[in-house]
Structure 1
Amino acid sequence: MDAAQSLQQFIDETELYNDIVLGGLLPGSIWRPLPRPLQSWLRNYIGGTLLYLVSGFLWCFYIYYLKRNAYVPKGILLSPLRDSIPSYMAMKLQIIVAMKAMPLYCALPVVSEYMIESGWTKCFSTIAEIGWPMYIVYLAFYLVFCEFGIYWMHRELHDIKPLYKHLHATHHIYNKQNTLSPFAGLAFHPLDGILQALPHVICLFIIPTHFKTHISLLFCEAIWTANIHDCIHGRVWPVMGAGYHTIHHTTYRHNYGHYTIWMDWFFGTLRDPQDDFSKVE
């Protein structure tokens, strides 16, 4: 396959995504005349908004209504969940912050798609091009790179005071169990959210990356961030679950990591919820 055919595969794939999302919701006369980058942005905006709202509402319904008496966190999560459910107003304000940022959040995958379709990255379109063994190897490198990049981006948003004051503080007003909710997961200053997702894009220039996997992992961020802001400690090693992230929102100096605890362990910023549990048991 020559370079032109390879790039055309990326274009065909993004057009398929546009057909699925936009074609399923809007008349073609509205979105098909738009320039390709604007089509991609509209698709990401609609898809991202639906993913954020639907996953957030479903998870809130499950943990705050169906299972509201099942979880009794301890330690830093000392209060029973029924006494720590965030108010409707708190969740409404988180949704407003997230929705104000969503248009800019959705610009990042548009930029990455444009660079991929232009042949500037190391992306490949199908796993068959490299085989499953190398796909798994590259995916592992991709995930490690993103873990490292997001850890340090997040940490510097705390350590560099102007960045914290003007960007990251918007998210850290949610610093107690009764103010954190799944909707806080995307309640960031838009530039803050983009900076923390930026390692996913930088990675494209360094590590061969499967295009569909890259797009999927960007959207997985929305589900993951909802999960780690629900204050329920899953105790699944080495996952950086909500117990760890709630500690981050209370101390501001621990647990900067993303999917796993490894970067915090390696760089000395890990604080284990189990240690807090043991102090009160």
Structure 2
Amino acid sequence: MGEYLQEFVDDTTWFNQLVLGYLLPTKLWDPLPHILQTWLRNYIAGNLLYFISGFLWCFYIYYLKRNVYLPKDAIPTNKAMLLQIYVAMKAMPWYTALPTISEYMIENRWTKCYARISDVGWLMYAVYLFIYLAIVEFGIYWMHRELHDIKPLYKYLHATHHIYNKQNTLSPFAGLAFHPLDGILQAIPHVIVLFILPTHFRTHIGLIFLEGIWTTNIHDCIHGKLWPIMGAGYHTIHHTTYRHNYGHYTIWMDWMLGTLRDPIDDEGKKEM
């Protein structure tokens, strides 16, 4: 195994030991093949991220700041949130298979990943990261839009997520409440980009897990008013109209392609 390839294996081994070594007895995970250790690490980390971010955010907006950000009738019931958790938990083993597969491909040098920022320098790291995010934004926009436009995909996959179509049915826990294949399809641009662009390995892993935090945020129905970020105000409109605001981190794709609907404009229309 070449030294450069070994750096990727060393990184994933360290990630595995960091998560599994602290949470599980060594005898339970150490005998497993490396790829199963990686999946178990991603599964545990994914669940921790989902529950910690979800519970903290719900506690803050529904209890500490109750009626500050959202009116009482916009707060989802505990039953609705438990259903969202149930759907997300059924999908989580499959969601976490995607970063496991991407790490396997990186370790086997099938991608253009590089191990250290010093391999390319800080300037090119920043340039590649910008292009990475642009490609992901483009890919997720079109994947999301096609999940609506192609009727069988919507009926059998994406409709699972769109039963949450009012403020009082949306919560941070809805962020991962998808059909497993739907969630994977919307995250797969993160993997495709590895084959076409030099990508820093640890940044890629970090961005995959940032998705979990981001999806928590955009389902809380609070309009952050931070242009050009595609925050929860925009995404709530997506859940109520089904035909607008397909974007992910920013509004750019929707703006360019005519699918943008601004929550401030919506509020103005309601008040007229």
- TM-score tier after normalising by the smaller chain length: over 0.9
- Identity rate, percent: 73
Alignment of 1:30-49 (within 5 A): 30-49=28-47
Q: CA deviation at 1:81?
A: 2.3
Distance, in Å, in 1 between the alignment partners of 2:169 and 2:203 is 33
The Cα offsets for residues 192-243 of structure 1, whole Å up to 9 and x where unpaired, read as 0000000000000001000000000000000000100000000000000000
Distance, in Å, in 2 between the alignment partners of 1:207 and 1:238 is 25
Are 1:248 and 2:234 counterparts?
A: no
Are 1:202 and 2:198 counterparts?
A: no
Q: 2:113 aligns with which of 104, 123, 135?
A: 123
SS in 2 for 1:178: helix
Question: 2:10 maps to which residue?
Answer: 12
Question: 2:208 maps to which residue?
Answer: 218
Q: CA deviation at 1:93?
A: 0.3
> What letter matches 1:212 in structure 2?
R
Alignment of 1:263-274 (within 5 A): 263-274=253-264
Distance, in Å, in 2 between the alignment partners of 1:235 and 1:50 is 29
> What letter matches 2:216 in structure 1?
A
Q: 1:55 aligns with which of 33, 39, 53?
A: 53
Gaps in structure 2 of 5+ consecutive residues = none
The Cα offsets for residues 77-134 of structure 1, whole Å up to 9 and x where unpaired, read as xxx5222100000000000000000000010001100100000100000001100000
- Structure 1 outlier segments of 4+, above 4 Å: none
Q: 1:98 aligns with which of 82, 88, 91?
A: 88
Distance, in Å, in 1 between the alignment partners of 2:71 and 2:10 is 47
Distance, in Å, in 2 between the alignment partners of 1:274 and 1:138 is 34
SS in 1 for 2:92: helix
Q: CA deviation at 1:157?
A: 0.2
Distance, in Å, in 2 between the alignment partners of 1:224 and 1:122 is 26
Distance, in Å, in 2 between the alignment partners of 1:247 and 1:83 is 17
> What letter matches 1:116 in structure 2?
I
Distance, in Å, in 1 between the alignment partners of 2:60 and 2:154 is 33
Are 1:68 and 2:66 counterparts?
A: yes
Alignment of 1:88-167 (within 5 A): 88-167=78-157
SS in 2 for 1:90: helix
Q: CA RMSD in A?
A: 0.8
Are 1:192 and 2:182 counterparts?
A: yes
SS in 2 for 1:175: coil
> What letter matches 1:220 in structure 2?
L
Query: What is the TM-score of this pair, normalised by structure 2?
Result: 0.98
Q: CA deviation at 1:274?
A: 1.0
Question: 1:179 maps to which residue?
Answer: 169
Distance, in Å, in 2 between the alignment partners of 1:207 and 1:190 is 27
Distance, in Å, in 1 between the alignment partners of 2:246 and 2:73 is 27
Q: CA deviation at 1:280?
A: 3.3
Residue-pair matches, total: 271
Distance, in Å, in 1 between the alignment partners of 2:178 and 2:164 is 11
> What letter matches 1:190 in structure 2?
P
The Cα offsets for residues 17-47 of structure 1, whole Å up to 9 and x where unpaired, read as 0011000011111101101110000000000
Question: 1:234 maps to which residue?
Answer: 224
Q: CA deviation at 1:178?
A: 0.3
SS in 1 for 2:56: helix
Q: CA deviation at 1:63?
A: 0.2
> What letter matches 2:256 in structure 1?
F
